[in-house]
Structure 1
Amino acid sequence: MREVLEVGGACRSEYGVPCPDGVAVAIPMSVPGLISGGAVYSLASRGRGGMAAMLVLWSLLFGALGFNFLDFGMRGDHINIAFLSCAILFGLFALTPLVLEMTRRVITLRAVSNPRSLPVTVGAHRIVVHLLDAAATVLGVWCGQTCWNSLSL
């Protein structure tokens, strides 16, 4: 991924930007490998905390991807808004499952310690989910507007 980001984020001989060595083989092979490996891991560890571990792996993956976009978005003398937008989106992708898992655990702990507080904590969880949804929607609209404006110039 970093090799493709080095050449501007897209490579193709028709664009006049040839892909770095190995990218044409590595990218198509890595995505199905990652998905199938994650599915095998999730199925093999089902019932033994595999889903919580899968959320951590998801967050690590998207956090690493977001870091790459952040790193390349702030290189040099100018800021690359497209890479920074991707960094923000991938950061949200990384944090959302962790936030949802943490709120679920808080709800479970509160329900065990005080069963009468369950409706309040479930409502709080729903509020967190709706706030994250609204934030993702606003960010998506902003990114779309930014990209449209940059293409229109």
Structure 2
Amino acid sequence: MLIVMAGLPGSGKSTIAAAAARRLGCAVVSVDPVEAAMWVAGIDPTQPTGLAAYVVAETIAQEQLRLGHDVIVDAVNAVEPARQQWRDLAGRTGVALLFVEVITSDDREHRRRLEKRERGIEGFPEPTWESIEARRVGFAGWTEDRLRLDFLREPAVNAGLVVAAVKRSR
């Protein structure tokens, strides 16, 4: 199964993805560390490394799916072309697809978490609250079913909801 996380930076996607992956025994393919690795390798950040990171993540996810493993993709997935990429991958590999949108319904809490987080991704700066507000404007609406989670819930509870949705879809 392909489980695709979506949501603004700092909304809790990575935390929920990691907790769900531990319970499902599957891999998490995260776009941010892939992009950071490109920069560390010397690819100029002014190049379209964000798009390239999505393509690399797709390739890794595809190989894992072909081996019969479930995969969780951890990325913002704010625009329709990014979401279509995962629909296409699920179709090519013949696996079920679950989109999981993660929000933090309290902006003050979202900002607090964002400003204190330190993911330790070498060469990858944490976004500012101002950049999150700008991205929110460009976040495409959804046209399909998805599991919508609020990070104000405990991560373990949210991970349990992901696991339950995966089990229902099998």
**Greater fraction helix:** 1
- Structure having the higher strand fraction is 2
Structure with max Cα Rg: 1
TM-score by length of 2: 0.29
Higher RCO, Cα 8 Å, sep 6+: 2
